[in-house]
Every structure is written in C-alpha cells, then in structure tokens.
Amino acid sequence: MNDTEMIECREPALQMQRLIAIMKRLRAPQGCPWDAEQTHRSLITNMIEEAYEVVDTIQRDDWEQMKEELGDVLLQVVFHAEIAREAGRFNFNDVAAEVSEKLVRRHPHVFAQSTADTTDAVLTQWDKIKRQEKGTEATPYLHGTGKGLPPMLRAWKLQKKAAKAGFDWPDAQGALDKVKEETAECEELLPAEEEDPRVTEELGDLLFSVVNLCRKKGIDPEAAMAGANKKFEQRFNEMERLLARDGVPLEEAGLDAMEERWQQAKSSR
C-alpha cells in the first residue's frame, strides 16, 4: 500500500501508519505551507500546550476529550519524527524501537531474571539501570534530573529522586514544619525592599517546601495548583456577578465591596 492509499485507509490496525503518511504528505511539496515550514524549535510550545491539555482532561475525567488530546500529543511526536526523517537523523520507527528497547532493558523483573516486588524497588532498579546505561555513576546523583521541566515540576522530581537516596522527611509533619519555618523567614523579610535578592530566595524556599509537603501527602503539586487556580477563577467570576447584580462595576468596586461578595461566593460553593 503506497502513501496515497494509506492516507485513505480506515483499517484500525493501520492507523499509526496512516498518521505517518498524512504527516509526510502535509510536509511534501504542494502540501500545507504551515506544516512545511515548522521546525523542532518552532513546535516546542505546541508540545508543551498539548501535554497540559491532556492533563486537564484527566483532571476533569473527560475521557472522550482525552482521546482527542492524546491524539494531539501523538501528532507532535509524529511531526518531530518526520522532520528528523527528512534531515536523515531518524524516523518514527526508530523512536518506537528506542523506547521499546528501553522498556525491556529497564524491566528485568518482567523480561529477565531480576526481582523487584514493590514500586519502590522497581523505581530504584530503574534509576540504577539508567545511570549504568548513561555512564553517569560517577556524576552527581541529581545531575540532569527534571531538566527542561517547569520549575515546580522540577522541584517535585528533584525531591523524589533525593528521597530515593534516603534524604527525606520521615513523615508529612516534618515537611509541614519546614513550610512553617520558611514562612517565618519570609515574614522577617517583609520590610525589605522588593529588589533585595533575599526576598526572592526565601520565597523560592517557601515554594520548594510546599512542593515537598505535597509530595509527602502523595499530591501532584501541579494538580493542586490547577485546582486552586480553578477555584479562584470560579469565585472571582461569582464575585463579579454579584457586584453586577447590585449595579457595581468591577472596576469601580472598592476592596470592602469585593471582599463582601467574595465571602458570599465562597459560601455559595
């Protein structure tokens, strides 16, 4: 079956090949100008946005929308693989083969003779094999951990990996005490000028400690932050609605009026 025939193929087992053929056609001469001019770098934002949109569907238990968003993430992988194929670097099959080999190598308790009966044992084994593969046993333990991730997610990854080495609070109370300690240090710096680098440093320490508390409670800090954002937006919208009901434009409402409606919004949800 040639590429033209594959583009029209509806056979379920061949849809991955169909997607690859479609992307190849889009980037070919007389294809789509936008698709043709994209590069690995120009698509960075798209990859990040599509991943976050998948996360949103998971948090909302929207499985139908999740199917679509996962397709968009897969599209990004195919897009990058096609750009690489055109440059003679690698193709989609190379990408799939690479991850398949990795999964087999790093699961010897499934595909070989190793033993790992718990999640912690599996993660420890995975990390040990990864370090051996990359020849990084002599490099710092946290080297490269979470590189490229947003700061909050990287903090979570750094803390998780440090915990594997035994550097961790024994329980959530220890993490909460650290949050209190960092909060007190921030309070001491309240009179300082905004330009004082200590303010940024201490606020960073506070955020880092809150991420650590999330981790100790088994909560994804990004999910917690997303929930807080959603709640704030809903309450703010309700506050605005209540002000409008009373004939008070948001831009003209004083803080007292806003606070009164905010409390009403809180109690109504």
Q: What is the pLDDT of residue 226?
A: 85
Of 127 and 245, the structure prediction assigns the larger pLDDT to 245
Q: How confident is the model at residue 31 (pLDDT cuts 50, 70, 90)?
A: very high
Q: What is the pLDDT of residue 269?
A: 63
Of 168 and 55, the structure prediction assigns the larger pLDDT to 168
- 198-240 pLDDT, tens per residue? 999 999 999 999 999 999 999 989 888 988 998 999 999 999 9
Average pLDDT over residues 59-71: 94
CA angle 22, 24, 29 (to 5 degrees): 115
Cα gap 38→211, rounded to integer Å: 36
For residue 73, how many C-alpha atoms fall within 13 Å in the half-sphere facing its CB? Answer: 15
- pTM value is 0.68
Which residue's structure tokens are 């087999």? Answer: 104
Of 141 and 243, the structure prediction assigns the larger pLDDT to 243
Q: What does the DSSP 8-state code read for residue 84?
A: H
Main-chain phi, psi angles of 237, to 5 degrees: -60, -40
Structure tokens, 105: 């190598």
| Measured CA distances, 195 to 168, 184, 201, 206 (Å) | 33, 20, 11, 18
Cα gap 262→159, rounded to integer Å: 36
Which residue's structure tokens are 């992307």? Answer: 23
Q: What does the DSSP 8-state code read for residue 167?
A: -
- 134-148 pLDDT, tens per residue? 876 668 888 888 888
Q: What is the pLDDT of residue 139?
A: 80
Count CB neighbours of 81 within 10 A: 20
193 contacts: CB under 8 Å, gap ≥ 6: 199
Single out the residue of 90, 48, 92, 95 nearest to residue 72, CA to CA. 48
